[in-house]
Copies of this chain bind each other. A is one copy, B any other.
Amino acid sequence: MDLTRAASAAADDADPLAAFRARFTGADDDRPDRLLYLDGNSLGRLPVDTPAAITRVVEQEWGRGLVGSWDTWVEQSRRIGDLLADGVLGARPGEVLVGDSTSVDLYKLVVAAADARPGRDVLVCCADDFPTDRYVTAGVAAARGMTVREVAAHIDAGLDLDVLAGALDERVAVVVLSQVAYRSGALVDIAAVTRLARNAGALVVWDLSHGAGAVPADLTAAGADLAVGCTYKYLNGGPGAPAFLYVRRELQPQLRQPIWGWFGQRDQFAMGAAYDPAEGVDRFAVGTPPVLAMAAVEVGARLTAEAGVERLAEKGRRLTDLVVGLADAWPAGHGVTVASPRDAGRRGSHVSLGHPGAWQLTQALIDRGVVPDFRTPDRLRLGPAPLYTRFVDVWDAMDRLRALLEDGSWQQYPTERSRVT
């Protein structure tokens, strides 16, 4: 790999996705002192089209159309769901719905899946997955008198499928697993795990949050049954944007989710006496979705679909390869270790660097115009978003990190952590 800045600039010139950069606020700044935002895996940038889309919903649809706009809004969850299904997730129409938070969606699907496996009393999750995955699973288990079997993952290399296979037996009802590990970026093979779980008679609920929009999920091809995912990371749907859920079409009639709200009701506006869940994916809806927030999700989803997830993933692999290559080229790594799989095919679009002063480095980098993410206990996480991050952005960010490591100035920052990272 040519690790010169000139090689990165050349890669940008040849980038088939380069034109998308101008469609995100602030992303096409090319001044030397520009902000280098490598946290698109935590909160994606603002698409240029989003303010107008929100303004249209607020001023036209709400302000002028008032309650009459429900003719449009009532289709919104499904419309954006179908857009994600086709353009991002490799799923079919009528399999994806947008509305609640990832945590709420995960809860609904884990309960629905556990109900579909009566007599089984174990839920499996991964000890290194994102807190909500582990906490929601624990909560469902606690309420039902089930046991959680946490499989260990290597903090750098992710989950070993043999370890997972060893945890699957006839007691396991549901496996909750992230496609991309939030800390290491390690990628799990959805098809392989689905086969393993199916052979054991268990259902998998995938959390696609840390990859959706940056790595393909190919849910239909992989045979996946159930999934949820976040839209405010690589899908650029805005802070706290509503999540998506996916239920394979053939499974929908067999499943019921536990929160019986009026948006999940067949013939909702008849307001009938008894709950009678709608056909299809609508039965996984609950209450009135946050229409204004959803408008931003739609813009982000369209941009991702237009760029194409395969192309995004290819660029993501090269961007993260550049991080790894640069860190490896430093003498003794300047004390930094690569805390992610080295094989780009086994990574999502973020990479973690291990360093005992990771929290101090995070603060120092932010002061120097680089936004990384700190992850416990000692991880500096860099998430170049292939839709709008340049190769030279990665190069310059790593150069600012290198300078910090060389001059030791990061050591002046407090070691005590503030509440929000």
Contact = CB atoms under 8 A, between A and B. Distances in A.
Nearest to A46: B63
Nearest to A55: B51
A161 interface: no
Contact of A286 (B74, B101, B239): B101
A284 interface: no
A103 B261 contact: yes
Nearest to A74: B420
A397 to B, nearest CB: 14
B292 A101 contact: no
Interface stretch (A5-13, A263-271, A303-311): A263-271
B58 A45 contact: no
A91 interface: no
Interface stretch (A191-199, A214-222, A240-248, A348-356): A240-248
A390 B406 CA distance: 70
A261 B264 CA distance: 22
A411 interface: no
A287 B102 contact: yes
Nearest to A42: B67
Contacts of A273: 127, 134
Interface in A12-43: 25-26, 37, 39, 42-43
Interface in A220-238: 230, 232, 238
A66 interface: yes
A417 to B, nearest CB: 8
Contacts of A345: none
Contacts of A70: 43, 239, 420
A200 interface: no
Contacts of A101: 99-100, 261, 286-290
A59 interface: yes
A103 B286 contact: yes
A376 B373 CA distance: 52
A37 B66 contact: yes
Contacts of A59: 25, 46, 51
A272 B143 contact: no
Given A104-B261, A131-B272, A239 B62 contact: yes
Interface string A42-57: 1101100011001101
A274 interface: yes
Nearest to A111: B143
B371 A419 contact: no
A71 interface: yes
A68 interface: yes
A105 B277 CA distance: 19
A405 interface: no
A258 interface: yes
Nearest to A270: B376
B42 A50 contact: no
Given A101-B287, A287-B104, A73 B240 contact: yes
A68 B45 CA distance: 12
B50 A135 contact: no
A107 interface: yes
Contacts of A238: 58, 62, 291-292
Contacts of A420: 70-71, 74, 269
Contacts of A69: 239
Q: Which one of A50, A270, A287 has the greatest number of beta carbons of chain B within 10 Å?
A: A287
A296 interface: yes
17 contacts: A26-B64, A46-B58, A46-B59, A46-B62, A51-B58, A74-B419, A101-B287, A107-B259, A111-B143, A131-B268, A132-B287, A135-B260, A135-B262, A238-B291, A239-B288, A239-B292, A241-B290
